[in-house]
């Protein structure tokens, strides 16, 4: 699968998963909403209530920027299955032009952000490796 095909598949789903590395080396996996800017992937901490005040994924990325992003599609018709994983390096952005551009991209993709605030920070993932599989 080439990168252009992989990103077309990624763009077709509304939710993906982001894996970060905890301080003890164990994985931390969360569902995320996201936007695409070129080949960069963007997500942010939004105003939905969190279980705790801690933003584990942000803390993890600040300490260890290697991440994996996984988008997939399941269907009872297994000929329609696919997945794409983007391994990359993430950065946490708290302000500035990149921050504003990322917030605009997320807000234009998800109508829910008209009612849920997006205070950030923003996470921007620069891809290092893109792999995927499709049953077709």
Spatial distance between the Cα atoms of 54 and 59, rounded to a whole number of angstroms: 8
> pLDDT tens digit string along 73-120?
999 999 999 999 999 999 999 999 999 999 999 999 999 988 888 888
Residue 106's domain is classified under what CATH number? 2.30.110.10
Domain that holds residue 116: 3-134
* Number of domains composing the chain: 1
> pLDDT tens digit string along 108-125?
999 998 888 888 899 999
pTM (predicted TM-score): 0.93
């Amino acid at each position: 699968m080439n990168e252009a095909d992989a990103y077309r598949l990624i763009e077709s789903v509304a939710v993906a998963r982001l894996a970060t590395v905890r301080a003890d080396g164990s994985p931390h996996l969360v569902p995320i909403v996201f936007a695409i800017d070129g080949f960069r992937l963007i997500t942010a901490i939004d105003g939905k209530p969190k279980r705790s005040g801690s933003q584990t994924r942000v803390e993890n990325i600040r300490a260890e920027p290697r991440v994996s992003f996984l988008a997939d599609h399941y269907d009872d018709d297994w000929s329609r299955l696919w997945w794409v994983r983007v391994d990359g390096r993430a950065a946490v952005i708290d302000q500035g032009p990149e921050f504003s551009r990322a917030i605009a991209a997320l807000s234009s993709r998800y109508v829910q952000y008209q009612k849920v605030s997006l205070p950030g920070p923003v996470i921007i993932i620069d891809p290092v490796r893109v792999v995927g599989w499709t049953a077709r």
